[in-house]
Chains A and B, each alone.
Chain A
Amino acid sequence: MKCGFCGRTLPPPDKLRQKPCGACLGGCRKIHCPWCGYENPMVPGLLRRWRKKDNSKEND
């Protein structure tokens, strides 16, 4: 997934060592971009597989 603000590719959430923002009940549901700090929404499990299918088409 790309950061919605600076456009850089975000590391997968499990690889991203980040402090929770403290505002979300029951764990953080946002991915804070390590480069610019923008909060990207965490994609729920169901949609994640759909997105993966799309990503595999990309050049990497």
Chain B
Amino acid sequence: MAVQSEVCPAERKIVLVGNPNVGKSVLFNALTGAYTVVSNYPGTSVEVSRGCCEIEGVSYEVLDTPGMYSLLPITEEERVAREILLKESAHTVVHVIDARNLERMLPMTLQLVEAGLPVVLLINILDEAERRGMHIDIPLLQEKLGIPVIGGAMARKRGLSELRQAIASYNPDVKAVFGYSHELEKDLAKVSRHLTDDYTLVPRSIALLLLQKDEDAWALIKKAEPSRLEAIEKAVNDTIYERRMDLNLRISLERKRICRAILEEVIHQQADRAPTFFEKLAAWTINPWTGFPLLLLVLYFGIYVFVGKFGAGTLVDLLEGGLFEDYINPWVIDLVQKMTSWYWLRELLVGEYGVFTLGVRYAVALVLPIVGTFFLAFSIMEDVGYFPRLAMLVDRIFKKIGLNGRAVIPMVLGFGCDTMATMVTRTLETVRERIIVTLLLALAVPCSAQLGVIMGLLSEVPGALPVWVACVTLVFLAVGFLSARLLPGERPMFYMELPPMRLPQARNVLIKTVSRMQWYFLEIFPLFIFASVLLWAGKMTGALNGLVRVMAPAISALGLPAKTTAAFIFGFFRRDFGAAGLYDMHAQGLLSPRQLTVAAVTMTLFVPCIAQFLMMKKERGWKVSLGIFMMVTLLAFGVGWGLNLVLGFTGWLA
């Protein structure tokens, strides 16, 4: 390769691999000094640094690879990192890991070793781990892994000379092997028996990749031994069929088990050191007995008090009641009336559905303060690392109602945006799971903006929020339970790596909140304007009145005033737009608490917004998505009707 000779004439190569942020670049600089070349890896946009160093009189070329989490690539970066491992035939591969996260990072070391690569393990950031009272028995770890292990802190050059020593004296002939369970080993042997070509990786490792449906590994086999392809495919498919389990998951669980066993005696936590508050909190969040009360606390203070009372109460009063009502609206209306005498133009600009009086006012004065406070609360929870724990907690309930635990991820994502979550259902294994989750997303998972506005709206009325929460949760559980019964199938287990919890960083939270608000504003503003123009056109042509008449029986069955129809039509443009319409009606005193609650429940369950519907159509096709649409509409109005009856009968929220 041309690039190589420009860097240095070395014959031996050192390849640095590891997760991002473990100190690889620091090590690279410490090893190579000033003479480095950064260039794009051939055929990609990914940058790879190359440098030169000399150890005990031998010169080496050093390659810093892009961060990777596993030998099974998902991103282009990971793909390039793996390609370097496969093609550059390294003299030594230095796997850099963070001492504080040994258990999470060691599985990749296992992957590298079982691939037959000449691995040296560097446990970096050891000083930080020691400060936390962690002692790592490095000689013992080296003995158990069967590869050279060096502890250090590259930022302080601690351990650098030991690493250079280990590289210089590396003996590639000694290979370590880890045994998986008897069953998995048998499966591996069955596949690797057929592999005869000479690969960079050992056959056992290629068999592992094939069983995990790795596309590159399959492409490699197709090229290397086309005559045996059929036999290999048969062996793999038989194994997958026989085990009836996600092999990916099974292999990664086995790897975890081995790592835990290895680390058991290697890591010592100082006896007198009690777990930190965050470690305790992290454990509480996933235990059902403490997790659900904690969730309620989060919802109460984060959503009810902060978003509802402060955002939807104080801030909206200031902006909508103070600024717009008293100053901006009268001034704009006056201006328009002076400038034009055309009725239609006045209506378009400042009328009932005017671009300014409806579109701009809703977007700026009603929705933005509510959504802003909601995004702030959301970003704090995100930065703390709460969401994956919430997923684990919800998983237990899901299993109880017979749903697939893995469906948790798109569900939790749905609280961000249902459109995206609908797309993420792709990651689910079977069509059955995908349909159930798509249905539940369309029905009972409000997106963040709508959730914010509804929470803000309902927290103004005592008792309304608990009724709303109970209704939506009940519908969700009942529909989930029923559809899981009606569409039976396998339920693979849900497994997820949990990142550690931490104190939220003010800067991160602020950046995320502002980014989300900017994104939101750019997104909704044109839509709100567009919707008000459309409503205006509907009003001028009389089409809106026609629609109101058509929907009148349904609306009055819910016990709602006819004007609510407009809010439901808003809701189809965007979920939060509809909620804003309700908010406006509530502010004008047009809705009783009972009507408000019924309308909010119906609207939450009722139609997904246009974007979500289009995504549903794209992912599931016309037939399924129209079916879901009909079902959701019927259910939403049915539940609203029932709720209205119950509330009327019991006299709650009268």
Task: Give the interface of A toward B (CB within 8 A).
Answer: 4-9, 11, 14-17, 21-26, 29-30, 32, 34-39, 41-44, 47, 50-51, 54, 58-60
Contact = CB atoms under 8 A, between A and B. Distances in A.
Instruction: Determine which residue in B75, B417, B611 has the highest number of CB atoms from chain A within 10 A of its CB, and name it.
Output: B75
B519 A30 contact: yes
A23 B611 contact: yes
Nearest to B155: A59
B26 A6 contact: no
B192 interface: no
Given A16-B75, A58-B21, A38 B611 contact: no
A54 B511 CA distance: 12
A44 B521 CA distance: 13
A48 B385 CA distance: 22
A35 B74 contact: yes
Contact of B615 (A14, A23, A42): A23
B630 to A, nearest CB: 23
Given A7-B499, A17-B76, A30-B519, A37 B413 contact: yes
Interface in B483-524: 496-497, 499-500, 507, 511-512, 514-516, 518-519, 522-523
B131 to A, nearest CB: 14
**A interface majority secondary structure:** loop
B514 A47 contact: yes
A22 B21 contact: no
B525 to A, nearest CB: 9
A54 to B, nearest CB: 6
A8 B69 contact: yes
Contacts of B379: 4
Contacts of A25: 522-523, 526-527
A50 B511 contact: yes
A45 B282 CA distance: 34
B67 interface: yes
Of the candidates A30, A36, A50, the one having the most CB atoms from chain B within 10 angstroms of its own CB is A36
Interface string B310-332: 00000000000000000000000
Interface in B387-435: 387-388, 409-410, 412-413, 416-417, 419-420, 423-424, 427
Contacts of B95: none
Interface string B132-150: 0000000000000000000
Given A6-B497, A22-B611, A11 B515 contact: no
12 contacts: A4-B387, A5-B382, A23-B417, A23-B612, A23-B615, A25-B526, A29-B519, A37-B427, A38-B416, A39-B416, A43-B511, A59-B124
Contacts of B519: 24, 29-30, 41-42
A14 B66 CA distance: 15
A50 B41 CA distance: 29
Which 3 A-B pairs give the minimum distances between C-beta atoms?
Answer: A7-B499, A9-B20, A41-B515
B22 A59 contact: yes
Contacts of A43: 511, 515
Contacts of A22: 419, 611, 614-615, 618
A39 B413 contact: yes
